[in-house]
Amino acid sequence: MDERRKPARTSTPIHPILADRFSTRAFDPERPVPFGTILALFEAARWAPSCFNDQPWRFLFWNRADNPDGWQEALGTLSSGNQIWAQNAPLLIAGIARTHFVHDQSPNRWGEHDTGLATMALLVEAQAQGLSAHPMGGFDAEKLRTSFGVPLEWH
């Protein structure tokens, strides 16, 4: 058995792509993520369902291999505990949600939910591509906003 596999002990069988997914903290900083693979992650997210098909998500990403300065700045927005292990991740991604619908500018109370669905699609695609991913909430949202020019209608 592959030593990297740590299938979940589920109460009933589920698809291996889900059972095998876990939030590792061990990344190889020398293993870059090819651009085609990055595109596949975001294409998977694009096909997630959303209210009115509004797709209220955007993903900012920093590839250590192509943009080490931006990657370092993004790493600096993480909590100190997350920086300890994330410093080895070759790719950092931030998911943000739009607070209002595009079609009528009314508040979108499902925007964060829909962004979560897109994130899960991205995580499943990462697993299918042989990658590991670790979603986290431990970051400074205001620092991310100011460092990367995230508009106020996104959070």
- pLDDT tens, residue by residue, 11-43: 999 998 898 888 888 888 889 999 999 999 999
Q: What is the pLDDT of residues 107-120, one digit of tens each?
A: 999 999 999 999 99
Tokens of 117: 């669905």
Tokens of 82: 């997350």
Confidence grade of residue 1 (pLDDT, cut at 50, 70, 90): very low
Q: The tokens 């790493």 sit on which residue? A: 75
Return d(Cα 145, Cα 54) in angstroms, integer: 22
**3-class secondary-structure state, position 58:** strand
Sequence-distant (6+) residues with CB within 8 A of 72 are none
Arithmetic mean of pLDDT over the chain: 93
